[in-house]
Amino acid sequence: MSKKEKIFEKSSCVDDVKVSIRDALLVENISNGEIIARKTRIATKTKERMRGLIGRESLAGGEAMLFPGCSQIHTFFMRFPIDVIFVGKDGLILKSYRELAPWRVTTISTQSAFALEMPPGTLQSSRTNEGDSIRLRTGGNAQGFR
């Protein structure tokens, strides 16, 4: 297990989630009770992390991609904007980006345990803001990633 995976696994916002789980991860904003994503893929392999969402035409509502140990992302070569949050080990949203356009780079979030990339408009529709707390869990209404 890599150092990034260990940091992610020790996060207090991770509810019974093991890094080996590939998808069907539910992301919930526990500050307001809204579900942020029902279909979340965890990018743990180097190839997955490098590719991310590059090459996809879009990201469907309710889908997301989670990058353990990630403190900065870029949208080079992407075809669509995304919403992004950087989350600390305690589940607190440290930094958020709404509708980050292709060919952009975020600032570095050194205290981030992971980054979550979502379709544009997700943060607004779920009323998710910096300072909110989130929880990750499996089961319930979690659905597979397409």
Give the pLDDT of residue 3: 53
Q: What distances in angstroms separate CA 12 from CA 7, 75, 88, 92, one per listed residue?
A: 10, 28, 9, 10
**Residue 18, class by beta-carbon neighbours within 10 Å (0-12 exposed, 13-18 middle, 19+ buried)?**
exposed
Give the pLDDT of residue 12: 59
Give the pLDDT of residue 2: 56
Domains parsed from the chain with CATH numbers: 3-138 (2.60.120.1140)
CB 8 within 8 A of CB 113: yes
| Average pLDDT along the chain, 146 residues, taken 10 residues at a time | 53 52 78 95 87 86 94 95 97 98 97 97 98 86 49
Give the pLDDT of residue 55: 83
SS3 state of residue 130: coil
Give the pLDDT of residue 20: 42
Give the pLDDT of residue 73: 95
SS3 state of residue 36: strand
Give the pLDDT of residue 44: 86
